[in-house]
Structure 1
Amino acid sequence: MAIELPDPLAPGPTAEPAPRAPTVRRGLAWSTASNIVLRVGNLAVGIIMARIIAPEEFGVFAVALTVWSVLGSVAEFGLGADLVRRDDYERHLPTVATLGAVLSGSLALVMVLGAPTIAGLFGSPAATGVVQLMAIPMALIGLSVVPAALLQRSMRQGTLFAIDGSSLVVSTAATVVFALVGLGPAALALGRVAGQGLTVLLQYIAVRRWPVFGLDRTVLREAVGFGLPLALANVVGWSIISIDNLIVARTTSPEELGLYALAFNVASWPMSVAGQSVRVIALPAFSRLPDDAHRGRAMVRVSGLIWSVSAVMALGLVFVAPQVVTVLYGERWAGAAAAVAPLAVFGAFRVIFDLAATYLIACGHTRQVAVVQVVWLVALVPAMIAGVTLGGLAGAGWAHVVVAVVVVLPAYLVYLHRARVPVARFLRAWTVPTLAGLPLAVALWVITSTLTLPLVVLGAAAGAGLLLYALPMSRWWIGRARAVGVDAPV
């Protein structure tokens, strides 16, 4: 794919121009397409594994995945984001590579040695070996920081798509083979090992360089100064979407944890498609705009477009969650449907929160992001305990929604206002998509109230979404998409 931005591997002037609209739109198109394809691929993998692995076995793996996700946010340490936003990134590369390798290696050692204690904390001793296996991809995270950042800053989304797709294929094949020979939850961990290893290898091949290590104390201080608040925010952020696993595991059973983990995965589709598509483009695009005023206007344009996608996906899941779960994963996973609806609402807000955090990071406001995440976690813990106690898995989902609306959204709006985002216009950008969803909500209610066969319900819901939302919104989407990357008032 032809790249219009300067080659990040070539020497030359350190300053880079703001990304041009065609480059941003091309990157966004590649990112969106790749996320949709990869999401469909992951969905297929989930369907296959749900037929092979029981809910209680998936609950065991969920323990290991939770630990890996939280510690993985420390391993990255915001180093990749710092490279993406810097003009003088080249002199940072050896120090960042060294710091990333040391951090991820140390955290992998913590997982190996601390696995029995961690598994006991979750009330799942059977997870000990799986946690130790997940230490291998943990060690590989640090090696991935530099090449991943170089690909992201140059918006090489086609290349990233090819790498992620290859990793998905290898990971899936390994997981299925190991599951069929009876390794249970360990099969999921071994699949993750194979996928992560291939990802790192292909990333270095794509940027045409191998790891170069070194240590510059000035660079180290700058990297730590930027990354420490962001690492804290990432740890807290992953804790926010993991603390529910701990509470569910401690108060229910591995089977219930498996059902909840599946529900969270299904409800995260808006985040996976809309949020991740934009995140990889938003950070370099926001970072290279000349000042906060320009960034603020761009933020308003993007937010409405993102909300229009994430909100309609959440709306669909709210109404057809039981049919989605039973058709795709089977009757033994039907208990997950109760949590999908509230978690889908939370998933739509997560997309906006992720966009807000990306914007603040691009502006260099990592401490503000950390503050929001800490406040979020402090509010979520008692809400989650009350939710699970009173409402089970569904209560856990509604706890997320209440905290998101009452605590997190206002906190982000305060910091966005301080970062020159016109908050009133930011919120108004959601008006058209929200109002356009009302006829669809009525239609979905009628469909789910009158039809019984799950496949018929899903077909009718898809048709309603196309006729009542996608077609009426098509002109609005085209206009907003053309505005992405263009430095003009909204």
Structure 2
Amino acid sequence: MPGPHSASRHIASGTAVSYLGFFLGKIIVFLNTVVLARILLPEHFGLVAIGLLVLAVSETLAEAGTGAAIVWRKGEIMSIAPVALAVGLIGGGVTALGSILLAPAIAAYFGAPEVEPIIQVLSLAALISTPTSVFMAILQSRMEFGRRLVTDASKALTKGLVGIPLAYLGAEAWSIVLGHFAGIAVGLVLSWWFSRWAVRLSLHPDILRQIVPYGLQIASVALVGLAIRRLDVAIVGAQLTTAELGYYTMAFSLIELSIMGLCWSASQALFPALSGSGRTREEMAALFARGLSLLMAVTFPLAFGIAVLAEPIVLTLLGEKWRGAIAPMHMLAFYALIYSAGFNLGDVYKATGHPGILTAINVMNLIIAVPLLILGARGGLTGIALAQVGIALAMTTVNWVVASHRSGIGAGVLVRSVWAPLVAAAPASALCLTLDRLLLAGCSPMLRLAAGSVAGAALYALLFGLLRRDMVQPLLATIRKGR
């Protein structure tokens, strides 16, 4: 069994490759979005956000956590995968039918009758996305992140190749919908090909008894987590206009591309590294601490930089008509930063076979989030974003309190992981703010963005390198060896 230092290198490299795949996919999608944003209106993006919300719920219900079960029982992939695929296909059919039938009621809730056919078309995507989750879980269990990278990037590229021409032809919101559908189809084909698995179906009772209870726990975690992540879309879409929902969705996508994408990518490497390892609590805590330190070293400067440079980012990338996305983006950067400090504790619970803990935490999160977000909606998009910050702060605190009692990973791990990034990011963001608001206030958004990014990143790298030589020196030594 590899030691914590060796495993942490696997996690770091796995996170890097996974994030590269996530980043390449998302950057392609974002470049597509930038082009589409110049053609379409914010309300078009708002309509699609509603459709994608319904699709996300359908996919989570259909998969029933079977993909996570494959990773959890990674020594039994070939016996579990056929059952997982059969469960996914059955679930996909049921949820697709349910979404199609409920589409009129959902459209009425959002006060947007034009979203009904969008929901119905995207509901069908659940039929092809659930098998993909099985194939991707096989790759994850083998830690073959390079193959996942190709799949994610190809899916994203397909969305643009289909969506952008349709937008130029006047397809409006449908250009995004059909591009998304095409991307899912390509992901299905590639993930199956890379998995090198001769597909077969099974409903073997013994395997079902092994994976269904665990899968249902994971599904409940995922469903509650989805409710937490997408509750804002449901509330913004119901209480504000589709244009405001478009602004909010765009701001959130920028945050997702950077900070939240890193958390997800770290999870893709950390979960299989911890699963089935037979490590002691102390070894697991040490391994998690190393992963968290690497994550915080990157998320802190990203969050501070986005918060300070939100205006030039939006104006440079999207243009003046998207100015409404700037205000929520300031706050959402700090929401994502707080969120990142506790997100990967869920991997510890899942890896040790106790995802029910995460379910309980997420249910509490949901109970707190509903009233706060409804109240925040009275303050418009900024109020919603501010409510998100409060929710993240409360629930990250709860998550760490629970972790210290149940897993031996105490708050000291968090303090050791965040102190240096915080100390380095504060003066770096102050430099960015000075350049953007004072010295370059009258310059173009592109110049403000470039100058602030370069100056802030350079100062952060210098300060962090001085504060955490124990992290930086091994990295530099590895680079020198590579030469």
TM-score, normalised via structure 2 length: 0.92
1:334 aligns with 2:323: yes
The residue type equivalent to 1:183 in the other structure is: A
Identify if the C-alpha distance between structure 1 residues 257 and 481 changes in structure 2 by more than 3 Å, giving closer, same or farther: farther
State whether residues 229 and 367 of structure 1, in contact with CA within 8 Å, keep that contact through their aligned partners in structure 2: yes
1:386 aligns with 2:369: no
Counterpart in 1 of 2:176? 188
Q: How does 1:303-342 map to 2 (within 5 A)?
A: 303-342=292-331
Counterpart in 2 of 1:3? none
**What whole-Å deviation, never above 9, does each CA across 1:421-472 have from its counterpart, x for those lacking one?**
1332233221111111111121122123212231221112112222211233
Equivalent-residue separation in structure 2 for 1:102 and 1:134 (angstroms): 17
State whether residues 304 and 433 of structure 1, in contact with CA within 8 Å, keep that contact through their aligned partners in structure 2: no
Counterpart in 1 of 2:86? 98
C-alpha deviation, 1:304, in angstroms? 1.8
Counterpart in 1 of 2:15? 28
**What whole-Å deviation, never above 9, does each CA across 1:163-220 have from its counterpart, x for those lacking one?**
1111111111111122222221111111111111111111111122242101112221
Larger deviation: 199-208 or 464-473?
A: 464-473
1:56 aligns with 2:73: no
Equivalent-residue separation in structure 1 for 2:35 and 2:460 (angstroms): 31
1:145 aligns with 2:136: no
Counterpart in 2 of 1:71? 58
Counterpart in 2 of 1:370? 359
Identify if the C-alpha distance between structure 1 residues 350 and 293 changes in structure 2 by more than 3 Å, giving closer, same or farther: same
Equivalent-residue separation in structure 2 for 1:223 and 1:434 (angstroms): 42
The residue type equivalent to 1:95 in the other structure is: V
Counterpart in 1 of 2:30? 43
Counterpart in 2 of 1:260? 248
C-alpha deviation, 1:477, in angstroms? 7.9
Q: How does 1:115-130 map to 2 (within 5 A)?
A: 115-130=103-118
1:346 aligns with 2:346: no
Equivalent-residue separation in structure 2 for 1:411 and 1:280 (angstroms): 20
Structure 2 unmatched runs, 5+: 476-483
C-alpha deviation, 1:17, in angstroms? 7.1
**What whole-Å deviation, never above 9, does each CA across 1:209-234 have from its counterpart, x for those lacking one?**
24210111222122221121221121
The SS at the match of 2:344 is helix
2:232 corresponds, among 239, 244, 247, to: 244
Identify if the C-alpha distance between structure 1 residues 457 and 153 changes in structure 2 by more than 3 Å, giving closer, same or farther: same
TM-score, normalised via structure 1 length: 0.90
Equivalent-residue separation in structure 1 for 2:16 and 2:332 (angstroms): 27
Larger deviation: 353-362 or 471-480?
A: 471-480
Counterpart in 1 of 2:479? none
Counterpart in 1 of 2:204? 216
Counterpart in 2 of 1:228? 216
Larger deviation: 427-436 or 34-43?
A: 34-43
Equivalent-residue separation in structure 2 for 1:57 and 1:24 (angstroms): 39
State whether residues 94 and 212 of structure 1, in contact with CA within 8 Å, keep that contact through their aligned partners in structure 2: yes
Equivalent-residue separation in structure 2 for 1:195 and 1:239 (angstroms): 24
The residue type equivalent to 1:235 in the other structure is: L
Equivalent-residue separation in structure 2 for 1:342 and 1:166 (angstroms): 32
Counterpart in 1 of 2:163? 175
Equivalent-residue separation in structure 2 for 1:134 and 1:303 (angstroms): 36
2:471 corresponds, among 476, 479, 484, to: 479
The residue type equivalent to 1:283 in the other structure is: F
**What whole-Å deviation, never above 9, does each CA across 1:278-324 have from its counterpart, x for those lacking one?**
12111111114322331111111111211121121111111111111
State whether residues 338 and 393 of structure 1, in contact with CA within 8 Å, keep that contact through their aligned partners in structure 2: yes
1:295 aligns with 2:284: yes
State whether residues 98 and 215 of structure 1, in contact with CA within 8 Å, keep that contact through their aligned partners in structure 2: yes
RMSD: 2.1
Equivalent-residue separation in structure 1 for 2:198 and 2:183 (angstroms): 19
C-alpha deviation, 1:406, in angstroms? 2.0
The residue type equivalent to 2:358 in the other structure is: V
1:206 aligns with 2:198: no
**What whole-Å deviation, never above 9, does each CA across 1:313-338 have from its counterpart, x for those lacking one?**
11111111111111111111101111
**What whole-Å deviation, never above 9, does each CA across 1:111-161 have from its counterpart, x for those lacking one?**
212111111111211111111111122111221132111101111111111
Percent of aligned positions with the same letter in both sequences?
27
Larger deviation: 342-351 or 364-373?
A: 342-351
Larger deviation: 274-283 or 19-28?
A: 19-28
State whether residues 341 and 396 of structure 2, in contact with CA within 8 Å, keep that contact through their aligned partners in structure 1: no
State whether residues 315 and 345 of structure 1, in contact with CA within 8 Å, keep that contact through their aligned partners in structure 2: yes
1:470 aligns with 2:461: yes
Equivalent-residue separation in structure 1 for 2:62 and 2:456 (angstroms): 41
State whether residues 77 and 138 of structure 2, in contact with CA within 8 Å, keep that contact through their aligned partners in structure 1: no
